[in-house]
Amino acid sequence: MNSVYRIIIGGDILPSKKNIKLFESGEVSSLYVEDIRNLFHSADFSIVNLERPLINANIHIASGFDMTEL
């Protein structure tokens, strides 16, 4: 049996102070325009690059870039 999978790879997804509530609540429809949502929904697998960690801790990560202001 020969299977074909559709894989979408995106990059640079950035949860910030302005949109973190949308990430936490899963309100994807408010994060992306309809064309992008449809593209990701049409895939068997979706892969994205998060530009900052999704954690619930007050720790400092030495990255050379201050993400706390975003």
If residue 8 lies in a helix (H) or strand (E), which one and from where to where? strand 7-9
Q: pTM, whole model, 2 decimals?
A: 0.57
- pLDDT digit string (tens) for the chain, length 70 residues: 679 999 999 888 888 888 888 888 888 778 888 898 899 889 999 998 888 777 777 776 666 666 556 5
Please give the pLDDT value at position 28: 72
Question: CA-to-CA distance for 23 and 32, rounded, in angstroms?
Answer: 11
Please give the pLDDT value at position 1: 67
Please give the pLDDT value at position 43: 94
Please give the pLDDT value at position 24: 82
Boundaries of every domain in the chain: 7-69
CA of 11: how far to CAs of 20, 21, 33, 56, 57, in Å? 17, 20, 16, 22, 24
The CB-side HSE value for 43 (13 A sphere, CA atoms) comes to: 14
